Structure 1
Amino acid sequence: MDMTHPAATFGTGPLNTPLWFAQLLITFMFATGFISYYRRVWQLAFVLLADKPVMAWLVRALMIGASVGIGTGLHMVGWLVFTNATGLMFHNMGLFVLTFTLLDKGITWWEYGLRLLGIADVWAMHHMGYFDRPQFLLSVVGAGIGVGVLWHFREQIRFTVWRHIGVYTLIGVSFWTLLPRHSAGLVITPPIIVQGLSMYLVMVVVTAITLARDRQLEQRNQTNAQLAHYDSLTNAKSAAIYRRDVTRFFQAAHAGGHQLTVAAIDIDHFKQINDHYGHLVGDEVLIGVAKTIATELRRHQGQHSLYRTGGEEFSIVFVDVSHGDMQTIVTAVWAAVQKQHFEAGDYTVHATLSIGVAELQPSDQRFDDVYARADASLYQSKHNGRNAITIGDRTLNNHMKKHVMATRTLISQDVIDTQTAGKVVAKEVLVARYEYDHDRWNFPSRFMLPIDVQLNYIRDLLTIGDTDQIMLHLTQRQFEDVDTPERLLAFVQNQPQPVHLVVELDLSVQVRVLAAEAPRYRRNGIQIALVNVDARQPLAQLEPRLPYIDSLKVACNSLRKQYPVGLAQHDTHRWRDTLAPYHVSFIINEIENSVDADFAQRVLHARYLQGYYFDRPELPRLA
Structure 2
Amino acid sequence: MLWGYLMGNLDGIVRICFSTNALVTGIVTIGLITLITYFAFALEKKISVASPFLEKITVNLSEMGLLLIGSLIVEQVFGSLTGGSAIELGGLYANAELTLLFYCLFVFNNRLIVLMNIALPFIYHPAFDIVRMKNQYWPLFIIAYIVLVIVIDYLYGHKDDLIVSNYKYLIAQILFGICWWILIWIDYRFPLTDIIGMLIVFEIYMLVVRIIEQKMSTYMHAYNDLEVKVNYDALTGVRNRANLNKLSKEAFEKYSKNSKEPLTVIMFDIDHFKKFNDNYGHEIGDEVLRHVAHVAERELHMDGSNGQLFRYGGEEFIIMIKGTDSQHSTNFINGINQTLIEMPLFIQDTQLNVTLCFGVTTLRATDKSFDDIFQRVDGYLYESKNTGRNKMTVEGEAQEYSVQPIIHI
Partner of 2:5: none
Partner of 2:150: 145
Displacement after TM superposition at 1:273 (Å):
1.5
Aligned with residue 222 of structure 2, among 220, 223, 240: 220
Equivalent residues of 1:274, 1:282 under 8 A apart:
yes
Q: Evaluate the alpha carbon distance shift between residue 331 and residue 263 of structure 1 in structure 2; reply closer, same or farther with a 3 A threshold.
A: same
Displacement after TM superposition at 1:172 (Å):
1.8
Q: Evaluate the alpha carbon distance shift between residue 128 and residue 185 of structure 1 in structure 2; reply closer, same or farther with a 3 A threshold.
A: farther
Partner of 1:36: 34
Query: Equivalences for 1:390-469 in 2 at 5 Å?
Result: 390-397=393-400
SS in 2 for 1:271: helix
Displacement after TM superposition at 1:287 (Å):
1.7
Q: Evaluate the alpha carbon distance shift between residue 276 and residue 115 of structure 1 in structure 2; reply closer, same or farther with a 3 A threshold.
A: same
Equivalent residues of 2:60, 2:110 under 8 A apart:
no
Partner of 1:187: 191
Aligned-partner Cα distance in 2 for 1:240–1:130: 68
Aligned-partner Cα distance in 2 for 1:184–1:346: 78
Q: Establish whether residue 303 from structure 1 lines up as the match of residue 306 from structure 2.
A: yes
SS in 2 for 1:318: strand
Query: Equivalences for 1:94-133 in 2 at 5 Å?
Result: 94-103=97-106, 105-109=108-112, 111-121=113-123, 130-132=135-137
SS in 1 for 2:266: strand
Aligned-partner Cα distance in 1 for 2:167–2:203: 12
Alignment TM-score, normalising by the size of structure 2? 0.75
Q: Which amino acid in structure 2 is aligned with residue 211 of structure 1?
A: E
Q: Deviations over 1:405-446 (max 9, x none)?
A: xxxxxxxxxxxxxxxxxxxxxxxxxxxxxxxxxxxxxxxxxx
Partner of 2:283: 280
Q: Which amino acid in structure 2 is aligned with residue 140 of structure 1?
A: Y
Equivalent residues of 2:78, 2:89 under 8 A apart:
no
Aligned-partner Cα distance in 1 for 2:189–2:86: 6
Displacement after TM superposition at 1:186 (Å):
1.4
Q: Evaluate the alpha carbon distance shift between residue 375 and residue 219 of structure 1 in structure 2; reply closer, same or farther with a 3 A threshold.
A: same
Displacement after TM superposition at 1:262 (Å):
2.3
Aligned-partner Cα distance in 1 for 2:72–2:366: 62
Aligned residues: 382
Aligned with residue 333 of structure 2, among 310, 330, 335: 330
Displacement after TM superposition at 1:375 (Å):
2.8
Q: Establish whether residue 166 from structure 1 lines up as the match of residue 138 from structure 2.
A: no
Q: Deviations over 1:155-183 (max 9, x none)?
A: 6546865443332122123344x579876
Displacement after TM superposition at 1:272 (Å):
1.7
Partner of 1:372: 375
Q: Evaluate the alpha carbon distance shift between residue 267 and residue 173 of structure 1 in structure 2; reply closer, same or farther with a 3 A threshold.
A: same
Equivalent residues of 2:334, 2:401 under 8 A apart:
no
SS in 2 for 1:256: coil
Displacement after TM superposition at 1:205 (Å):
1.7
Q: Evaluate the alpha carbon distance shift between residue 27 and residue 284 of structure 1 in structure 2; reply closer, same or farther with a 3 A threshold.
A: farther
Equivalent residues of 1:261, 1:319 under 8 A apart:
yes
Equivalent residues of 1:13, 1:84 under 8 A apart:
no
Equivalent residues of 2:357, 2:381 under 8 A apart:
yes
Equivalent residues of 1:341, 1:351 under 8 A apart:
yes
Equivalent residues of 1:160, 1:212 under 8 A apart:
no
Q: Evaluate the alpha carbon distance shift between residue 352 and residue 83 of structure 1 in structure 2; reply closer, same or farther with a 3 A threshold.
A: same
Q: Establish whether residue 229 from structure 1 lines up as the match of residue 234 from structure 2.
A: no
Aligned with residue 243 of structure 1, among 225, 242, 245: 245
Aligned-partner Cα distance in 2 for 1:112–1:166: 19
RMSD of aligned residue pairs (Cα, Å): 4.3
SS in 2 for 1:309: strand
Q: Deviations over 1:221-269 (max 9, x none)?
A: 2222222222222122211232333344445444433534322211122
Equivalent residues of 2:137, 2:186 under 8 A apart:
no
More helix per residue: 1 or 2? 2
Aligned-partner Cα distance in 1 for 2:118–2:73: 14
Equivalent residues of 2:262, 2:363 under 8 A apart:
yes
Q: Evaluate the alpha carbon distance shift between residue 331 and residue 362 of structure 1 in structure 2; reply closer, same or farther with a 3 A threshold.
A: same
Q: Deviations over 1:91-131 (max 9, x none)?
A: 3223323333333525344x532342223445898977655
Aligned-partner Cα distance in 1 for 2:229–2:338: 30
Aligned-partner Cα distance in 1 for 2:253–2:123: 58
Q: Establish whether residue 21 from structure 1 lines up as the match of residue 22 from structure 2.
A: no
Equivalent residues of 1:165, 1:208 under 8 A apart:
no
Displacement after TM superposition at 1:370 (Å):
3.3
Query: Equivalences for 1:470-509 in 2 at 5 Å?
Result: none
Percent identical: 22
Aligned-partner Cα distance in 2 for 1:32–1:389: 58
SS in 2 for 1:141: helix
Q: Evaluate the alpha carbon distance shift between residue 252 and residue 378 of structure 1 in structure 2; reply closer, same or farther with a 3 A threshold.
A: same
Aligned-partner Cα distance in 1 for 2:136–2:355: 75
Q: Evaluate the alpha carbon distance shift between residue 315 and residue 45 of structure 1 in structure 2; reply closer, same or farther with a 3 A threshold.
A: closer
Displacement after TM superposition at 1:65 (Å):
5.1
Q: Which amino acid in structure 2 is aligned with residue 381 of structure 1?
A: S
Equivalent residues of 1:102, 1:112 under 8 A apart:
yes
Q: Deviations over 1:511-564 (max 9, x none)?
A: xxxxxxxxxxxxxxxxxxxxxxxxxxxxxxxxxxxxxxxxxxxxxxxxxxxxxx
Q: Runs of 5+ in structure 2 lacking a partner? A: 1-8, 47-51, 404-409
Q: Evaluate the alpha carbon distance shift between residue 139 and residue 266 of structure 1 in structure 2; reply closer, same or farther with a 3 A threshold.
A: same
Displacement after TM superposition at 1:276 (Å):
2.5
Aligned-partner Cα distance in 1 for 2:215–2:162: 14
Q: Which amino acid in structure 2 is aligned with residue 28 of structure 1?
A: G
Q: Establish whether residue 313 from structure 1 lines up as the match of residue 316 from structure 2.
A: yes
Q: Which amino acid in structure 2 is aligned with residue 186 of structure 1?
A: F
Q: Which amino acid in structure 1 is aligned with residue 179 of structure 2?
A: S
Q: Which amino acid in structure 2 is aligned with residue 21 of structure 1?
A: F
Aligned-partner Cα distance in 1 for 2:171–2:221: 24
Aligned-partner Cα distance in 2 for 1:363–1:357: 17
Aligned-partner Cα distance in 1 for 2:329–2:284: 31
Aligned-partner Cα distance in 1 for 2:70–2:262: 48
Aligned-partner Cα distance in 1 for 2:241–2:346: 26
Partner of 1:265: 268
Aligned-partner Cα distance in 1 for 2:188–2:401: 86
Q: Deviations over 1:285-307 (max 9, x none)?
A: 21221121012112234432211
Q: Establish whether residue 205 from structure 1 lines up as the match of residue 207 from structure 2.
A: yes
Equivalent residues of 2:392, 2:400 under 8 A apart:
yes
Aligned-partner Cα distance in 2 for 1:255–1:386: 35
Equivalent residues of 1:70, 1:94 under 8 A apart:
no
Q: Which amino acid in structure 1 is aligned with residue 331 of structure 2?
A: T
More strand per residue: 1 or 2? 1
- Asked which structure has the greater RCO (Cα within 8 Å, sep 6+), the reply is 2
Q: Which amino acid in structure 1 is aligned with residue 245 of structure 2?
A: R
Aligned-partner Cα distance in 2 for 1:163–1:381: 62
Partner of 1:599: none
Partner of 1:453: none
Q: Runs of 5+ in structure 1 lacking a partner? A: 1-11, 401-623
Q: Deviations over 1:375-417 (max 9, x none)?
A: 33323333344322222343322899xxxxxxxxxxxxxxxxx
